[in-house]
Amino acid sequence: MEVAVVPSPDPVRLAVPKAYLILAHDAPGSYELAANILAFAREHLAPYKRVRRIEFVSELPKTISGKIRRVELRQMEVQRRQGDARGPQEYFEEDFPHLKG
């Protein structure tokens, strides 16, 4: 239903694109859905444009006028990566070895 993409710190590539997704009808995110999204991106996008991390969320931070506050998402992502924390609905491209190649 809605998505925001922000850089996520990465020890090898400095930063990789991460997508925060809100699914329609409060559908739950899953390993299979994340694999399908990453496979689609791998097939249809250039390597430098591909999303490499996905997190399913229920809401995104927004301004009063309804714009997504990506600055908050970036700050949250930096804090998470410094602590090596991972959300329960967060998936990395490395979690799907069958997508490599």
Confidence (pLDDT) at 87: 87
The DSSP letter of residue 101 is -
Nearest Cα to Cα of residue 93 among 51, 58, 43? 51
CATH superfamily of 2-99: ANL, C-terminal domain (3.30.300.30)
Confidence (pLDDT) at 78: 93
Across 1-5, 29-33, 48-52, 84-88, least confident range: 84-88
**14 contacts: CB under 8 Å, gap ≥ 6:** none
Query: Would the pTM of this model clear 0.85, i.e. be above it?
Result: yes
